[in-house]
Chain A
C-alpha cells in the first residue's frame, strides 16, 4: 500500500499539489485523470521520490524519498532520446539497478532479448533509438520498464503519441505487469481507456484530488463532470463498457 497524506508541492510561490490524501493499492492499476495543469505529472514525480514535497508518501511504511532501495520504473511522456544509442543498449539500461551500473549479466542479456521479442522490437536491437517511430519508442520505454522488474511502475501518458492499434498493444503490455505483482500508476488523457484498464481512478483538478474510487463509480460521478467543467459526455455501450467523449459545443 502506498499512502499519500497531506501531500503538497510548491514551485516557488505556485502551489502545484495541495493537500492530497490518497491510498494506492498494491498490485492494482491506478489511473490519474484530469485536465492539463491538474498536477498529474508532478504527482507521479512525487511518488517516484525525485520531487521534493511536504506531507508524507509512504510505500510499505517507508517514506519514498528516503528509501533508495525501491525499484520503481518511470516512463515519461517526453523521453530524452540519447543520440547514437542502440535499442538494445537503451533497454539494457533498465537492468542497471539490478546488476549495478555497467555490469549487465548474461541473465540480463537473455531477459532483454526475451522482452524485445515480447514487445515486438526484436530485430530492431541494432537500430538507433533516435530512428524509432513514436509507437516503437513507446514500446522501447515499456521494454526498459519490464526488464527493470520493478515493484511499482509510473507511466506519464503512455498512449499519448500512439494510434488506436498501438494504444491497445502498449496497454496490454503494461497490464502484463500486474500478473507479475507490479503496482501500476499512470496518467491518461483518454478516460475511456483509463476505465477499460484501471481498477481505480483518481480525478484531479488544479492540484487537488476531487474524487477517487473504482473506475465504474468515478466514471458516473458528478465530480468527473465538474473536473472537466461539464464538457464531457458519458455513454454506456450495450456491452456495459462506458465511453467518455468531449462535447462538441464548448460554450456550455
Chain B
C-alpha cells in the first residue's frame, strides 16, 4: 500500500484495493483447501463440478468434494470471518488491543453449555451441543451485561464482569466434568476446536446468523473509529457512543456465539488477524473490517488445511494450529504495545 506523507498530499485513509486482494486470497485459499488432502482432487475437475459442467468429478471423489471438503472449508471461512471481525470490534469498543471475542464470558458460557450437553444424557443431547453452547455463550454475555450496570460510563467494567462470569462458568464446567469423568475426552476435543463434523446443515444455519452479525458490524464499521475517542469527542463528530457500543457488542457476540457453537473454541484468530491486517496496512481504521473478515476466513481455512494434512491421516485439533501461530504473535503484540505506551 502507498504510504502516507508523499509530498504535499494526504493519501486516502483506506485503499479498497487491499479489500479486493484479500477477497481474491480467500477464493484461492478455499480452492487450495478443497483440492488438497489424502486424496488430491484435480483443480479443473473441481471447477467443472462446482459449475455443473460436464467432465467433473464423479462417485466417491464427488462426494468427498461436495459433502466433506467444501462444507468444511466454508465453515472454516465463516467461523474465521466471525472470530476475526468480533475480535477487531471488541478491541475498538474496549479500547484494548488485546481484547478477544471470548472476553465477555462467551467462551466459558459456551463451554459450560457444551459440557452440559455432553455430560447429561449422552447421545441424545450431543446432537444438541451447538444449541446448548450457543445459548450458553449468549447467556454468559447477558449476565455480564446485567452485572455491569456501569457499562455506559466505563466499558472496562463490562470487561471485568465478563471475566468474573467466565471464571464462574468455567468452575461449574470443571465440577460437571469431574462428576462425569467419561465426558472428559469429548469436552476436551470440543474445547480445542473441531471442524471435522462440518456439514451443509451446519454451514447454512451458522452462515445465516454470522451474515446478519457481520452485515451489522460492517455497516457501522466506519463510525466505530469514533469509539477510539472520548465520548464527548465522538458525540461532537455525530455519533451516539453508547448506542453504537451496544449495537457493536450485541452483533459481535452473536457472531462469536454462532462460531463457538459451530466449531468449538478456536483461540487467537480474533487477536492475530486484526493485528496482522493493521500491521501490514499501517492502519487501525475500522474501514478495514471487511478486509479483517476476509483475512480471518483465509487464516482459518489455511489453519484447517494444516490441521488435517500435517499429521495425515491423523488430524490435529485446529485450535492447536491457531494457538501455535497465535501465542507467539500475542507476545509480540504485548511487547509492541508496551513500546508504544512508553
Hey, which bits of chain A sit against chain B, CB under 8 A?
45, 48-50, 68, 72-74, 76, 78-80, 82-86, 88-89, 92-94, 96-97, 101-104, 109-110, 112-113, 116, 123, 125-126, 128, 130-131, 148, 150, 154
Docked-complex contact A89 and B223, CB < 8 angstroms: no
Q: Can you report 13 residue pairs joining A to B where beta carbons are below 8 Å apart?
A: A50-B236, A74-B236, A80-B230, A82-B225, A82-B284, A84-B278, A89-B283, A89-B284, A96-B225, A97-B237, A101-B238, A104-B13, A112-B10
For residue B339, give the distance in angstroms from its CB to the closest CB of chain A.
10
Contact size class for B? Answer: 35 or more
Query: Could you tell me the distance in whole angstroms from the C-beta of A100 to the nearest C-beta in chain B?
Result: 8
Q: Which residues of A contact B278 (CB under 8 A)?
A: 84
- Whether, in the assembled complex, B48 has its beta carbon less than 8 Å from a beta carbon of chain A, the answer is no
Bound form: Cα–Cα A54–B306 in Å? 62
The reply to whether the CB of B282 lies closer than 8 angstroms to some CB of chain A is yes
Out of A76, A92, A94, name the residue touching B13 (CB < 8 Å).
Answer: A92
Q: A76: which of B3, B232, B285, B341 is its contact (CB, 8 Å)? A: B232
Of chain A, the residue at the smallest CB distance from B228 is A82
B residues less than 8 Å from A78 (CB atoms):
230
Establish whether residues A101 and B236, one from each chain, have CB atoms under 8 Å apart when the complex forms: no
Residues of B within 8 A of A (CB): 3-5, 8-14, 95, 97, 221-223, 225-226, 228-233, 235-239, 278, 282-285, 287, 337, 340-341
The distance from the CB of B230 to the nearest CB of chain A, in whole angstroms, is 5
Closest chain-B Cβ to A98's Cβ sits at a distance in Å of 9
Contact present for A83 and B9 (CB under 8 Å): no
Q: List A contacts of B340 (CB < 8 A).
A: 83-84, 128, 130-131
A80 touches B95 (CB 8 A): yes
The answer to whether A101 and B223 touch (CB under 8 A), given A89-B285, A130-B341, is yes
Q: Which residue of B lies closest to A122 (CB)?
A: B8
Contact of B238 among A68, A83, A89 (CB under 8 A): A68
Minimum distance in angstroms from A140 CB to a CB of chain B = 12
Q: Is the CB of B228 within 8 A of A72?
A: no
